[in-house]
Amino acid sequence: MLGAALRLRVRVLRRPRPHRGRRRGRRVGEDDDEGGREPVLLVSGMGGSVLNARRRSNPKFDLRVWVRILLANLYFKKYLWSLYNADTGYVEPLDDDVEIVVPEDDHGLFAIDILDPSWFVELLHVSMVYHFHDMIDMLINCGYEKGTTLFGYGYDFRQSNRIDKAMAGLRAKLETAYKTSGGKKVNLISHSMGGLLVRCFMSMNHDVFAKYVNKWICIACPFQGAPGCINDSLLTGLQFVYGFQSFFFVSRWAMHQLLVECPSIYEMLPNQEFKWKKKPIIQVWRKNPEKDGIVELVQYEATDCVSLFEEALRNNELTYNGKKVALPFNMSVFKWATKTRQILDNAELPDTVSFYNISGTSYETPYDVCYGSESSPIGDLSEVCHTVPAYTYVDGDGTVPIESALADGFSAKERVGVEADHRGLLSDENVFKLLKKWLGVSEKSEWRCVSKSKVVDLGT
């Protein structure tokens, strides 16, 4: 779900979609290999989990606030706009009566399947919200059974990737999958930021990870950050859909006012210690008041960007229930994220765990960002937040540069590049072929509607 390259597309199916209604796997015993099948746990990334709002004062109140197509902006502002609590490390709703929860239905799979399961989306097959849906179908077709050998882990993606609740939740899922399958080790499949959450868990719970995990298949993880997308999201926000469809989704600026308080976003800023082939930069065309308003191109590298963020966001605020709430660049969140980066960098893969890396290639991926122009320069830096950015692109999946996705630092069994975009990797035919190969399974039927792409062997 992350990234400016995402677009709202209406899927036209060549055949009726399988498993309409409630989908199930084969019963135990229907597959000769079922007794030896290792469980699979799917871990979503940024924006990849359904979030519900509940009221502490009304136990019956339970409203899906992410993702929703209808009334998206209204409910997003009312329930998801939040503030970071530096004492606890958690992001908390502006309404004290509200708590944000991830539904646990269907053994955790419901929350990461179709992110807006409303009749409207189902009718039109709005593909952008069909998240792990096709992959779940494929795995069920291979004989995996929900609640026995197939599980999902969705989480509140606004929070830090190392926050206690997320770590405890992942541990509980691993334990459940391990015990329910009869003591078989778990094969993890993570997407996007979910890879950072798994890496944090592995770094902080190395022995537990080694006990429960057999294979970790990582898809499109921003191991060293997503420079263009994340730098710009902190300054101007994130827009998931464009054109007429944007009226039905969360606006770019509404999203910005959430992200500026999200530790998970700060944790995906470009790693300052990583040896990039070319360091990502932010450029601003500015009038220099000390030189009679001469227009200059000012450049900020990763180590300098904090000063830009602070200056550009110094007057940032939102209005909630008629009250102004200040939302400057949050240095407390940045310091928390800096510690998270240390935890990520210290992660070591257990010798008993096999690691596989799939990255998206052949898509223009934002890297450097530029605001203003020589003919229309920025005056006050706060104007940056309301400026349309210009990007310099590199190869990647449209969100994560391939350089970052490949820089896991582990001894991988295989690293493979697939020509697909960030979200499209979750429904790509060649990705599915790789998963089946690495999991050692095959499908009973092969007629699902999936995208096609090319595969590039990136070596080990």
User: What confidence tier does 238 reach under pLDDT thresholds 50, 70, 90?
Assistant: confident
Q: How far apart are CA 28 and CA 97, in angstroms?
A: 44
C-alpha 147/C-alpha 179 separation (Å) is 11
pLDDT of residue 297: 96
| pLDDT digits 0-9 by tens, 136-178 | 999 999 999 999 999 999 999 999 999 999 999 999 999 999 9
Portion of the chain with pLDDT greater than 70, in percent: 86
Q: Is the pLDDT of residue 460 over 70?
A: no
Q: Please check whether residue 446 lies inside any domain of the structure.
A: no
Tell me the C-alpha to C-alpha distance, in Å, between residue 20 and each of 99, 118, 354. Answer: 32, 14, 34
Over 60: is that where the pLDDT of 29 sits?
Answer: no
Rounded CA gap, 210 and 214, in Å? 8
- Within 10 A of 176 (CB to CB), how many other CB atoms are there? 18
Residue 388 lies in a domain: no
pTM for the complete prediction? 0.90
Domain assignment present for 296: no
Catalytic residue among 82, 192, 359, 427: 192
* 118 belongs to the catalytic site: no
Average pLDDT of every residue of the chain = 89
In a domain, 14, yes or no: no
CA distance 26 to 33: 11
Residue 117 pLDDT more than 60?
Answer: yes
pLDDT value, residue 119:
83
Question: 268-290 pLDDT, tens per residue?
Answer: 999 999 999 999 999 999 988 77
The verdict on residue 24 lying in a domain is: no
Dump pLDDT digits (tens) for 393-435.
999 999 999 999 999 999 999 999 999 999 999 999 999 999 9
Q: From the candidates 82, 191, 422, 428, which is the catalytic residue?
A: 422
List the catalytic residue out of 397, 408, 421, 428: 397
Rounded Cα gap, residues 319 and 404, in angstroms: 36
Taking residues 311-326, what's their average pLDDT?
A: 96
76, part of any domain: yes
Residue pair 250/72 in contact (Cβ under 8 Å)? The answer is: yes
DSSP-derived pairing of the beta strands 363-371 and 455-457 = unpaired
- Report the C-alpha gap between 268 and 229 in whole angstroms: 9
Considering the domain boundaries, does residue 314 fall inside one? Answer: no
Q: What is the mean pLDDT of residues 111-125?
A: 85
* Per-residue confidence (pLDDT) for residue 17, from 0 to 100: 37
Say how many Å lie between the first and final Cα of the chain, rounded: 28
Would 289 be classed as within a structural domain? no
Please determine, for residue 212, whether its predicted confidence score (pLDDT) is greater than 80: yes
Judged by average pLDDT, the poorest of 23-27, 227-231, 353-357, 359-363 is 23-27
Number of domains in the chain: 1
For the question of residue 351 being annotated catalytic, the response is no
20 φ, ψ (degrees, to nearest 5): -60, 135
CATH number at residue 159: 3.40.50.1820
pLDDT digits (tens, 9 = 90+) for 334-377: 999 999 999 999 999 999 999 999 999 999 999 999 999 999 99
Range of the domain at 163: 40-271+321-363+393-439
- Clarify whether 411 is annotated catalytic: no
Q: What is the 3-state secondary structure (H, E, C) of 161-217?
A: CCCHHHHHHHHHHHHHHHHHCCCCCEEEEEECCHHHHHHHHHHHCHHHHHHHEEEEE
Q: What is the pLDDT of residue 140?
A: 97
Q: Which residues contact 324 (CB under 8 A, 6 or more apart)?
A: 317, 318
